[in-house]
Amino acid sequence: MNPFEKFVSESARVFQNGKKLPLGLRPKGRRVASRRKPDLLIFSPHPDDECIVGGLALRLLREAKWKVANVAVTLGSRRERKTARLRELQNACDFLGFDLIVADLEKINLETRKKSSARWRAAVKTISKILADKKPRVIFLPHENDGHPAHVGTHFLVLDALKSLPKNFKCFVVETEFWGQMTNPNLLVESGSADVGDLIAALACHVGEVRRNPYHARLPAWMIDNVRRGAEIVGGAGASSPDFTFGTIYRLQKWRGGKLKKFFNGGKFLGAKKNPADLFR
């Protein structure tokens, strides 16, 4: 008898049951209201990315008492869904305790960057103003090969905005992945079960999206596989896997002097018992 058959069948049962759990739960988050400006901005190509890549951001809010704001770079490509997606996004951000800044740009992709310079310059100006006004300590954005045109477009949009700012502007830059994997990430961050549960519940606030594709119920599997991959991609070939169940992979650098610069050598594992704010000291 193969003992792993039960493991696989139970995993399948848990996933199928997860798809049946209620969507659009009432918000439960608590914002950090003591600071006027956010410490961290998440530049999200679509409503839902704030939940998918938000493991580290959520830990910084809860454990380090940082103020986190999600910047909705777009509200998706379907105009008839924008109103609903904005409502769902607000519910998701409220659930996690993130503030929300709505840029609502359109056609954020490399085609626009190459062929529609006026539209692209206007989008860069919008993002530059957000960065200049908020002066965040840390920003999140997709990496340059994140597999979806809007994700890749958002990467270059934010970098172009950073380049337009004065040379003395500085912040930490955390690149994220979802549709395409990074070849050279340097950070694997553990999330506990309570945080993952809340990330899924917030993702399930995007009701119209997860009804057509229950990717909220697949998030634990993705975060488990991140630990498998991150062990050696972040830790180095042949490295032992950290004793994490759930994790998110990132690339941490620093923007300084008008360019991205390496902040540390090698890769780091951030366990659940460590202070996430220590990454940015």
Query: Which residues are bridge partners to 260 per DSSP?
Result: 255
Query: Is 24 contained in some domain?
Result: no
Predicted local distance difference test score (pLDDT) of residue 32: 61
46-59 confidence digits (pLDDT tens): 999 999 999 999 99
Predicted local distance difference test score (pLDDT) of residue 20: 94
Query: Is 21 contained in some domain?
Result: no
User: Smallest Cα–Cα separation from 77: which of 179, 150, 140?
Assistant: 150
Predicted local distance difference test score (pLDDT) of residue 31: 63
Query: Is 166 contained in some domain?
Result: yes
The ranges of the chain with pLDDT < 70 are 28-34
Query: Is 4 contained in some domain?
Result: no
Cα separation, 43 vs 171, whole angstroms: 14
CATH code: domain of residue 161: 3.40.50.10320
Give the chain's domain count.
1
Predicted local distance difference test score (pLDDT) of residue 33: 55
Query: Is 251 contained in some domain?
Result: yes
Query: Which residues are bridge partners to 65 per DSSP?
Result: none
**Identity of the residue numbered 209:** E
Predicted local distance difference test score (pLDDT) of residue 34: 65
Query: Is 13 contained in some domain?
Result: no
Domain extent for 64:
33-280
For residues 276 and 56, the answer to whether their CB atoms sit within 8 Å is: yes
143-158 burial, b if ≥16 CB within 10 A, otherwise e? beebebbbbbbbbbbb
User: Smallest Cα–Cα separation from 54: which of 41, 39, 64, 37?
Assistant: 41
Query: Is 41 contained in some domain?
Result: yes
Structure-block tokens of residue 80: 């008839």
Query: Is 271 contained in some domain?
Result: yes
